[in-house]
Structure 1
Amino acid sequence: MSAPAPAIITSPEQLPILFQDALNAGDVDAVLALFSDGAAMRTVEGVRIAGIDQLRAEIGGTVAAHGKLTNLPRHTITGAQTALLVTDWTMEIDAPGGERVTGSGTTANIARLEADGGWRFALLNPLGTH
């Protein structure tokens, strides 16, 4: 990915809040910097996306809709330089008709420990087990 490297994230538990804060600040590049090279995501519509261009479009669309994310980390399981992050989330966005809508769910995200010693998202699945 071409996004700037964030400070070293020393614990995978930091990722959901860093994601929330960067998204709420409207900083698409900071959000993208939390992803590993080759990361993929399943959108809330259930579409699988991958690659910097698709991820940028998805995150950029959320920022353009004035997305406000609240993440509440539930638990993290770590092993073999990989972490499963389960996080409850609520997202408010401006719908195309102008009304403010809210969605919520529970993620099942995967992070991995990178060669630089930092953690980054490899897979994002905001729909959890659905």
Structure 2
Amino acid sequence: MPNDHPRATTPEDLGRYFVERANAGDIDGLVALYEPRAVLALPDGRRATGTEEIRQIYTMLLEDRPQFAAGEQRTALHNGNLALTSTRRGPSATAEVARRQPDGTWLWLLDEPNVLG
């Protein structure tokens, strides 16, 4: 699968790209934000591990074409090649761990979409 989506040059790009791609119904674009063995937390306590499971989750999530608001993105907290990203959306907040890739771009490794739920 070719990846012609813009790549995140900062960890904060990931949150912005998520909103843009989710609102466009771009499942491939969403999956491209994650490392191949990334883990995505699900509301029921389960985990989606790897791009194929993450693709399945986003396919179901975007079926009804929900719209996502940008929210208030916090500045990433960096430590070497890792960064903690987070966004506040109303009464909810996200938390993600991104990792710098060998080419200097960033991908999510861990994603908890609702840390307050």
Q: Partners in 2 of 1:74 and 1:12 — Cα distance? A: 11
Unaligned runs of 5+ in 1: 91-103
* Partner in structure 2 of residue 13 of structure 1: 12
Q: Percent identity?
A: 26
Question: Does the CA-based 8 Å contact 1:3-1:30 persist in structure 2?
Answer: no
Question: Does the CA-based 8 Å contact 2:22-2:67 persist in structure 1?
Answer: yes
TM-score by length of structure 2 reads 0.88
Matches within 5 A, 1:118-129: 118-128=105-115
Question: Does the CA-based 8 Å contact 1:39-1:123 persist in structure 2?
Answer: yes
In proportion to residue count, which structure has more helix? Answer: 2
* Partner in structure 1 of residue 21 of structure 2: 22
Q: Partners in 1 of 2:96 and 2:35 — Cα distance? A: 13
In proportion to residue count, which structure has more strand? Answer: 1
Q: After superposition, what is the alpha-carbon deviation per residue over 1:58-111, rounded to whole angstroms, capped at 9, x for unaligned?
A: 111111021211132133101111110111136xxxxxxxxxxxxx51011110
Larger Cα Rg: Structure 1 or Structure 2?
Answer: 1
Q: Say which of 92, 96, 113 aligns to 1:105.
A: 92
Question: Does the CA-based 8 Å contact 2:92-2:116 persist in structure 1?
Answer: no
TM-score by length of structure 1 reads 0.80
Question: Does the CA-based 8 Å contact 1:3-1:32 persist in structure 2?
Answer: no
Quickly say closer, same or farther: Cα 1:3–1:85, change in 2 above 3 A.
farther
SS in 2 for 1:68: coil
Q: Partners in 2 of 1:6 and 1:119 — Cα distance? A: 13
Q: Partners in 1 of 2:34 and 2:68 — Cα distance? A: 17
The Cα shift of 1:129 comes to: 5.8
* RMSD of aligned alpha carbons: 1.9
SS in 2 for 1:71: coil
Unaligned runs of 5+ in 2: none
* Partner in structure 1 of residue 75 of structure 2: 75
Q: Partners in 2 of 1:3 and 1:123 — Cα distance? A: 23
